[in-house]
Amino acid sequence: MEFSKVFISAALLGFLGLLLRLYNALVAKPERLRSALRKQGVSGPKPTLLLGNILEIKKARDASAKATSECDGAPVYHNCGSFLLPFFDKWRKQFGEIFMFSLGNTQILYVTQPDMVREITTCTSLDLGKPTYQAKERGSLLGQGILTSNGAIWAHQRKILAPELYMEKVKGMVSLVQESTITMVNSWKKIIEAEGGIADIKIDQHMRSFSGDVISRACFGSNFSKGEEIFKRLRSLQEAASKRVLATGVPGMRHLPTKSNRETWALEKEIKSLILQVVKERTEAGYEKDLLQMVLEGAKNSDLSQDAIDRFIVDNCKNIYLAGYETTAVSATWCLMLLAANPEWQERIRTEVVEICKGQIPNADMVRKMKQLTMAINESLRLYPPVAVVSREALKDMKFGNVKIPQGVNVWTLVTTLHTDPEIWGPDSYKFNPDRFANGITGACKLPHLYMPFGVGPRVCLGQNLAVVELKILISLILANFSFCISPNYKHSPALNLVIEPGHGVNLLVKKL
C-alpha cells in the first residue's frame, strides 16, 4: 500500500514536471523572447498558440498562388519574392524593416534594415550560428550551406574548407567543367539534328546533369558514379525537406512518423551510409586529389570524436551538393531563361565570347575577360538568387544596431527583398538590366553589401567561386554554339524548394548556329 502511494506520488510529480517543461518550452519561453523584443519597440503579427504565424503564412501563400496565375513566357517584371513570400511584403509595410514573427515556438526576427544587415552578415562571432532547428535536422539542407551550431566544429570546417584552399581546388576543376560542358553541348546538337534543325528543350535536367557530372568528379574522383547516386538522393531529400518547412517550429512535428518524415529519415540514413561507404573505399584505395580528400585530411588531423568526424564528413558532402551542384544548376537555368527573353543581351554576350575565345574552348583566363557575361550573371543572380533567406540564430544574447537579440531568437535576412528594393536599386529594380553592373557590384546600387546571392561576410557560400566558373564556361559555350528563345511551352512559375527554381522547368527553342 505504502509502495503504491510512493509510486503514484512519483508519477504525479513526474507528470507535473513534464507539464512545466512543456509549458516553459511552448508558452513561457516564446513569450519571454517576444516580450524582450516588444520592450525595444519591435512588433509583428500576433501568433497563435503552438502554431505561431504558420496558418497566416499558409493562407497568404495560397491566396497569392490563386491570385497570381502562371505566366505564359517570361515576364517583364521579375518579383519572385512577392510571389513566393507575399506575407513578408504585407508585414514589412505594416511593421517596418525590423519585425518579429513565429514558426511554431521558434521566434524569428526579420531584418532588412541596411545597417543592421551589414552588422549581421559581417559578424564573425560563433555566437551567431546555424539555427538550432536546422542542427536538429542535419539532413534538411535548410539555410545557406551546412553550418553547424557547434562552434568548435564550425571553426574547424571553415579552416579545412577555407576560401584560399578551395580556390586552389577550383583551378584544378576547370578541365572537368570544360569536358562536362562539351558533353552537354554535343547532346544538344544531337537532339537538334534529330528534331530537324530546331528543338524544344526543357533545359533543367540538362543543367543538373552537367553540374552533377562536374561536382561528382570533383568531389569523389574515380568513384564519381557513387557520387552521382548520392546527389540524386540528396535532390530527393531536398524536395522532401521543402514540404515541411512551415512545420519546422511546430513542437514535436519532426519526431512524428508522418509520410514526409519517414521519407526524410530513410533518405538521411541511406545518404549517410553511401557517403561513409565511399569514405571507406577511399581509405582503402589511397590518396586522390579531390574535394573529398580535402575534407578527409582535415577530419583526420582534428581532435574530434569519430561520431563528430562522420557528421563533419557527411555534412560537408551535403554542403558541396547544395553549393556546387544545386546552386549552379538552378542559376544556369534562370540565366539562360533571361537571355532567351532578352535577345539583344544574348547577342551582345555571344559577340564578346566569339571575340575572346576565337573558336577555342573557354578557359579560366578567357572567362575572366568576359565583362558582358559577368554583368548578365550578376543580374540573373540578383533577380533569382539561389536562396531566398539567410537564417542565423543568436546562440547567446547579442546586439545588432539598437536591438538586443535574446538567446534563442532566429534572425532572418530576406535576400529577395534586398535584391529588388527600388530604394536600393532604382525604379527599374524589377527589370532585367545587366548594365547596372557595368562598374561592378559596388557601382550597381547604393548599398552593395545588400547584394548577397551566395551570402556575404565570413559565412559566404564556399562553392561561390566554383559556381561562377561553371556558369561562365557553360553559358559562353552554349552561346557560341546555339541561339535560343523562350518556347511557347514555358510557364513562368517560380517555386521555393529550399532553392528558388522554376516550378515547371524552363523550355527553350534551341537552334544550332
- Summarize pLDDT for 253-267 with one digit per residue, the tens: 666 677 777 887 888
The predicted model gives 441-461 an average pLDDT of: 80
475: confidence class by pLDDT, cuts 50, 70, 90: very high
52: left (phi over 0), alpha (psi -120 to 50) or beta: left
Lookup result for grid cell 510557364: 491
Going along the chain from its start, the domains and CATH numbers come out as 23-512 (1.10.630.10)
The predicted model gives 195-205 an average pLDDT of: 95
pLDDT at 147: 34
Choose from 235-244, 299-308, 355-364 the range with maximum mean pLDDT: 355-364
Q: By mean pLDDT, which of 50-54, 93-97, 145-149 is the weakest?
A: 145-149
Q: Which one is predicted more confidently, 316 or 99?
A: 99
**80 pLDDT exceeds 60?**
yes
**471 pLDDT exceeds 90?**
yes
**430 pLDDT exceeds 60?**
yes
- For the stretch 103-115, pLDDT in tens is 888 899 999 999 9
pLDDT at 458: 53
167: confidence class by pLDDT, cuts 50, 70, 90: low
The predicted model gives 469-479 an average pLDDT of: 94
Q: Are 450 and 456 in contact (CB under 8 A)?
A: no
9: confidence class by pLDDT, cuts 50, 70, 90: low
Q: Exposed e or buried b for every residue in 170-185, given b needs 16+ CB within 10 A?
A: beebbebbbebbeebb
Q: Which one is predicted more confidently, 218 or 389?
A: 389
pLDDT at 69: 55
Question: Rounded to whole angstroms, how far apart are CA atoms 290 and 269?
Answer: 24
**308 pLDDT exceeds 80?**
no
**487 pLDDT exceeds 90?**
yes
Note the pTM of the prediction, 2 decimals.
0.84
- For the stretch 131-142, pLDDT in tens is 776 554 444 443
Angle, alpha carbons 132-464-376 (nearest 5°): 125
**Of 393, 63, 52, whose CA–CA distance to 247 is shortest?**
52
Determine whether the annotation assigns residue 461 to a binding site.
yes
Q: If you average pLDDT over every residue of the chain, what do you get?
A: 82
83: confidence class by pLDDT, cuts 50, 70, 90: confident
Q: Which one is predicted more confidently, 215 or 361?
A: 361
The predicted model gives 391-402 an average pLDDT of: 93
pLDDT at 64: 73
**120 pLDDT exceeds 50?**
yes
Q: Which one is predicted more confidently, 456 or 426?
A: 426
**Of 178, 246, 260, 475, whose CA–CA distance to 346 is shortest?**
475
Percentage of the chain exceeding pLDDT 90: 44
Question: Rounded to whole angstroms, how far apart are CA atoms 219 and 292?
Answer: 5
Strand partners, 72: 491
User: Residue 215 — φ and ψ, nearest 5°?
Assistant: -75, -30
pLDDT at 149: 34
Beta sheet of 410-414, edge-to-edge order? 98-103, 106-111, 410-414, 389-394, 128-129
12: confidence class by pLDDT, cuts 50, 70, 90: confident
pLDDT at 146: 32
